[in-house]
Structure 1
């Protein structure tokens, strides 16, 4: 009876192995659009959060500065009344033709001006003529001048307190004028005015690094950290306001130039985006009560935008990486499913062949899988060696210090335990700095140069390399020095540790192992730090490719060949260079560095 071959039962195919219908471009476009929308929403949210934060900090600064300004001005509000209470001023007003009484009034006003440290104090009759002034003996004296046209005089003549900020028509110097009436038998017989100089506030604001301006009730800026804005109006002025400025000569120029060429509401506590003089700003304001002034804070809108862009970039990169990872996982699972389907198909065909062919095929498949796995493990070993290349010494030193700290605590030796804990903290900070420096090197950030003690750098490097030195039985001899160089201490330690490691590795096959660290000043006004081993030296081929990335003479798994390339780049960023040469015996690496100007090692011992 002939045998009948039965086809294997149909197996369900996983959904990720099925070919998609049509092209994937619409799906990719939809994913890209969704990603762009998420990034834009992230930017908008973080930008608004940055604006709110800037608004909060700005309002706090405005409130503090406004309070300071109000206190400084209000303390002089009653000064005209106190000065006007002096009877000799009343007698001078009653007898303006008496030279002796006018002289007494001048001396009294000068005394009041010096005691209160105001710009000027002066006395006017009811017609606005100045009879006496604290500056009566100066070329810019107010005596004989008429200030009837000034609003502060009119307010005081009507029995109230006059307040007015303006440029002086006599001196040309700006100031805040406060005026009060002098009464006799309930009648106003004259006016006393005080001029206060507020320009010191501009210097104070600049010292705080703020862009501020103080505007009057018309919107004209009269105190500002930006000289180009002074006496310019924030918004266009109406015709009646311009006429009033011309009549009072408040700011000299009868028509202030407008900084914002559009009508708009006055700035308030909420941040407003405006173009001031054609430059974009974020503007906040705070009114100053009865004076009618407003203190304005101007800030750069680029900072909140930068925070929003940074957050959007980070979220965008994160989502992109997540999508790529998802795609890789999906692709991997699909390939695995395809492989499994292929193996099932091959198994159906192989089942019809001889058992010997099936066995051989299984052996080849197993060998192929083992080779793939071996390659993966080798790649993982190289990656692990590259990472441990920079942080293995600090980790070993941390473990040693931690063990010693425990022993000191068991002995109640808190002083040495505290010292070890402090060193552990410094090593943790150094490990963080190493990772940060490697990232900074990848971004090509400039090195942060400062005077660096070579004694301190060599000592820290020896402490980091100590576990490896002890395990290998290597002797390290070094010079004592008080020289300093310009560089970055963490990066310089990183270079020196790398050279010491390479030197120890170069002498791995020797019984006698010795490293020499030398420091000397060169003839071309540089400082040379040399690391010399007593190993076999450098072959011509190795010297030719020594500083190339990924070139290494070490066996697989002990290095990626990046140490010397990274060291060369670090030293070059510090304005120096690194050189290598053969010596008798071994090889020497020289770090040629810029000396620190007129400095010595702060850790050096004083001379005997």
Structure 2
């Protein structure tokens, strides 16, 4: 059985590996072609926008040279180029028109190519006095056609597209009007993360691109013929023409690929292009194929992974079936063997029964011992719980009892001095604190579980006032100065008044312990309301919470005070109380020194009449 399963496993593994290779090979080709198709669609959309923008920019100025050439003052000027007043007037006119149309430059040329008036007549350098008869836009226009040419200006060294129109006078051509259009604004928008837009001339030289390092570079070999044709028109003036290190390729789906090498390495682009015959341009969008190939690789990897998981699941299923068949075979053999040995074991049955009775007796004794151990553990748990409750009661009653003792001593002194009214007030305070201690004893029963008492709106002003009465003796002993700021309208929170008072007593007592004996013994208690939540902050100027114990500060029985000065339950109990209120309690080091305790509770509205908690 194991040999058969091993043979099946080998066959299944080889088949799965072969299938994964086939899926990886054909899937990679299909997915790459698919994502390249999607990239080509995006490229065609981008190409359409770029071509539309270029055509719109050129169409804006296409008819303007003819309009200017038909102006009578322009005809008079080329008929009498020596008229200085006419030249000055035309310079001003061309400058104003150039500013109005937002073109780059406008100038007028004589039949010999000499520029006699220009919109930049008052700039340096100026076109006035320059001869541009070598430009195609000039000799096309002087021949009676429409001049169109893109070039780098030999005077301004700025790129632009030139429109030339003949100046017709009585059936003859007396000169040429030229518009130079700046298209840098369109080029500046051709900067994308996954694509590049380039515009090439008939020689394959890039003269518009969002990549400045590609400008005046050729994607076709710069042969002597191409360089000669470019030099004859001085299209790029004295610019240094170079060849981009490119290699062309394609895909079975007809996609054109272009690989460009640079200092960062080699990048492959999908090329989508469209020619503009009127401008004699070719606009191309180069999309980085890395994203498409990565997507295709991800899909193929997912397919191979799913196939591998399927093969693993099939192998597990087959293995389970083989083990089940093997188990059934073993059971059949065991049953047959058992039937053969029934007669042999009949004689040993009595001895086995005796041994079984002994084991039963031992187990009963063990069960009795186990029950006694369980009883002892339950009793130990009860004692531990009782000890924890006693420690909590001792900690929670410690501060109110100290306040009662202080008021009792004060009452005795006041009675000796005959100030019975003030002594009675002290006795009343003792009675009130006794009531509060009774309320505390009721609430301490619920610290280990969620209390059944419902929360209600509690005035923070009343809680703070009662709290200060309890901790007044401790603050006086520490010579502490407490500053309370509850705002113009003290907030109302959703809580229990006595339990919230217990939290404030614990935190204020810790603050008094922290600042005792220090130069700055101020304690700030403030409350703010924002977004339906009330934040109560208590800050002291003590040494702050050390970073080493910040994570343990809320643990029960953890204390940084000396022996006999605290049980380490105050913050733990306070944390559980605030959590029962649906709020949060945090204690951290203040950036300016000391400790900052923050209590966040839900805001509430105080009813007209409220009962004591």
TM-score (structure 2 length as normaliser): 0.57
Q: What residue is the counterpart of 1:48 in the other structure?
A: 33
Residues in 2 aligned to 1:274 and 1:298: alpha-carbon distance in whole angstroms: 8
User: 116, 119, 126: which one pairs with 2:101?
Assistant: 116
1:58 CA displacement: 1.1
Cα gap change, 1:181 to 1:476, in 2 (>3 Å): farther
- Look up the SS of the partner of 2:188 in the other structure: helix
Residues in 1 aligned to 2:333 and 2:341: alpha-carbon distance in whole angstroms: 13
Segments of 5+ residues of structure 1 without an aligned counterpart are 1-15, 362-468, 478-515, 539-581, 596-602
Kept after mapping to 2: 8 A contact 1:81/1:180: yes
Residues in 1 aligned to 2:313 and 2:237: alpha-carbon distance in whole angstroms: 69
Q: What residue is the counterpart of 1:276 in the other structure?
A: 260
1:135 CA displacement: 0.8
Residues in 1 aligned to 2:259 and 2:452: alpha-carbon distance in whole angstroms: 68
Q: What residue is the counterpart of 1:202 in the other structure?
A: 187
Kept after mapping to 1: 8 A contact 2:544/2:589: no
- Write the deviation string for residues 255-277 of structure 1: whole angstroms up to 9, x where unpaired: 72122455789x9x964221124
Cα gap change, 1:520 to 1:56, in 2 (>3 Å): farther
- Write the deviation string for residues 219-260 of structure 1: whole angstroms up to 9, x where unpaired: 111111100110111111343221111122111247721224
Kept after mapping to 1: 8 A contact 2:107/2:179: yes
Kept after mapping to 2: 8 A contact 1:17/1:337: no
After superposition, residues 153-232 of structure 1 pair within 5 angstroms as 153-206=138-191, 210-232=195-217
Kept after mapping to 2: 8 A contact 1:122/1:132: yes
Residues in 1 aligned to 2:16 and 2:260: alpha-carbon distance in whole angstroms: 41
- Write the deviation string for residues 1-22 of structure 1: whole angstroms up to 9, x where unpaired: xxxxxxxxxxxxxxx7772586
Residues in 1 aligned to 2:546 and 2:142: alpha-carbon distance in whole angstroms: 78
1:529 CA displacement: 10
Residues in 2 aligned to 1:107 and 1:19: alpha-carbon distance in whole angstroms: 101
- Look up the SS of the partner of 1:246 in the other structure: helix
1:214 CA displacement: 1.2
Residues in 1 aligned to 2:200 and 2:13: alpha-carbon distance in whole angstroms: 55
Residues in 1 aligned to 2:104 and 2:602: alpha-carbon distance in whole angstroms: 56
- Write the deviation string for residues 398-417 of structure 1: whole angstroms up to 9, x where unpaired: xxxxxxxxxxxxxxxxxxxx
After superposition, residues 100-499 of structure 1 pair within 5 angstroms as 100-206=85-191, 210-253=195-238, 256-261=241-246, 271-278=255-262, 279=266, 280-354=268-342
Residues in 2 aligned to 1:263 and 1:171: alpha-carbon distance in whole angstroms: 35
- Look up the SS of the partner of 2:107 in the other structure: strand
- Write the deviation string for residues 377-418 of structure 1: whole angstroms up to 9, x where unpaired: xxxxxxxxxxxxxxxxxxxxxxxxxxxxxxxxxxxxxxxxxx
Cα gap change, 1:109 to 1:585, in 2 (>3 Å): closer
Cα gap change, 1:277 to 1:38, in 2 (>3 Å): closer
- Write the deviation string for residues 359-384 of structure 1: whole angstroms up to 9, x where unpaired: 999xxxxxxxxxxxxxxxxxxxxxxx
Residues in 1 aligned to 2:454 and 2:180: alpha-carbon distance in whole angstroms: 77
Kept after mapping to 1: 8 A contact 2:144/2:166: yes
Residues in 2 aligned to 1:172 and 1:253: alpha-carbon distance in whole angstroms: 9
Kept after mapping to 1: 8 A contact 2:216/2:240: no
- Write the deviation string for residues 91-114 of structure 1: whole angstroms up to 9, x where unpaired: 111111111111121121112111
Q: What residue is the counterpart of 2:52 in the other structure?
A: 67
Cα gap change, 1:525 to 1:341, in 2 (>3 Å): closer
Segments of 4+ moved more than 3 angstroms: 20-27, 207-210, 260-265, 355-361, 471-477, 516-526, 528-538, 582-595
1:585 CA displacement: 6.8
TM-score (structure 1 length as normaliser): 0.57
Segments of 5+ residues of structure 2 without an aligned counterpart are 353-446, 456-506, 508-534, 560-567, 576-584, 592-600, 604-613
Residues in 2 aligned to 1:99 and 1:322: alpha-carbon distance in whole angstroms: 91
Cα gap change, 1:263 to 1:47, in 2 (>3 Å): closer
Q: CA RMSD in A?
A: 4.4
- Look up the SS of the partner of 1:145 in the other structure: coil
1:59 CA displacement: 0.4
Residues in 1 aligned to 2:536 and 2:314: alpha-carbon distance in whole angstroms: 54
Q: Which moved more, 1:349-358 or 1:153-162?
A: 349-358
- Look up the SS of the partner of 1:204 in the other structure: coil
Cα gap change, 1:534 to 1:111, in 2 (>3 Å): closer
1:289 CA displacement: 3.6
Greater C-alpha radius of gyration: 2
1:288 CA displacement: 2.1
Residues in 2 aligned to 1:594 and 1:232: alpha-carbon distance in whole angstroms: 62
Kept after mapping to 1: 8 A contact 2:194/2:287: no
Aligned residue pairs, count:
396
1:63 CA displacement: 0.5
Residues in 2 aligned to 1:355 and 1:533: alpha-carbon distance in whole angstroms: 71
Residues in 2 aligned to 1:325 and 1:140: alpha-carbon distance in whole angstroms: 79
- Look up the SS of the partner of 2:117 in the other structure: strand
Kept after mapping to 1: 8 A contact 2:149/2:161: yes
Kept after mapping to 1: 8 A contact 2:195/2:288: no
